[in-house]
Chain A
């Protein structure tokens, strides 16, 4: 029982437990909280897998921005009657079967492949290597990603903005 396996199984418990709760609880705000727990578990895994920069980016962007966005959406679209509405549709059985079948299929495919596991030493300075790759080999996806973010930002603002029609006749009073 090394420290690494203790960390792996502890984080696995947290991740799987939080995921199962996130897809089954009725209260969507609680589901968002469990999602945040799952995101932290994944960030913990990134640290365990020598990807500290990615772990920091995961917390910064996923927990700090995407989860906040999800929580805002939950707060703005919840109604009091939601507590009595069914959380799952009538295809729960079929969904469970499909999920389990998919799990078995993918795991069997993965376990029968022989992966070329390498013994090379991990890169010491993640940030420098990632930065260099972003600016040399992957500069086109980088630029396209920034344009995508701009488009998403403008699109979201336009979609969700309140309708401001022609001014009402307040001046007549």
Chain B
């Protein structure tokens, strides 16, 4: 399996996640699509480590940090979604534009 196949796969998953972020109305579904994007980036980094520098595992370490940051971001994101739901009884992102001018 060459590097190019992993690149194509990771980009495909990234763009599927991008489509989800741009078009989903439910806030939790948007966060799910963001998770897909994070995972595609992790896959890409580990593929690079395996094919370009198999003995120095910097790419895998970077992927570990991305997992940590994704976990923190999802935590705060879900807390905000819960707060919004409590106030407005719905989390469709195109209806929560109250702060727009």
Contact = CB atoms under 8 A, between A and B. Distances in A.
Contacts of A138: 61
A8 B60 contact: no
B101 to A, nearest CB: 20
Q: A interface, how many residues as a size bin?
A: 35 or more
A148 B91 CA distance: 26
Contact of B49 (A15, A23, A51, A103): A51
At the interface, is chain A mostly helix, strand, loop or mixed?
A: helix
Contacts of B42: 42, 54, 58
A117 B36 contact: no
Contact of A23 (B24, B61, B75): B24
Contacts, number: 239
A100 B75 contact: no
B11 A110 contact: yes
14 contacts: A8-B1, A16-B13, A22-B33, A23-B16, A23-B23, A35-B36, A45-B6, A62-B71, A98-B22, A126-B57, A148-B72, A155-B76, A157-B79, A159-B80
Across the A-B interface, the 9 shortest Cβ-Cβ residue pairs = A23-B20, A152-B72, A95-B22, A156-B79, A99-B19, A122-B54, A159-B79, A160-B79, A95-B23
Interface of A: 4-5, 8, 12, 15-16, 19-20, 22-23, 28, 31-32, 35, 38-39, 42, 45-46, 49-51, 53-54, 57-58, 61-62, 65-66, 69-70, 72-74, 76-77, 79, 82, 85-89, 91-92, 94-96, 98-100, 102-103, 106-107, 110-111, 115-118, 120-123, 126, 129-130, 133-134, 138, 141, 145, 148-149, 151-153, 155-157, 159-160
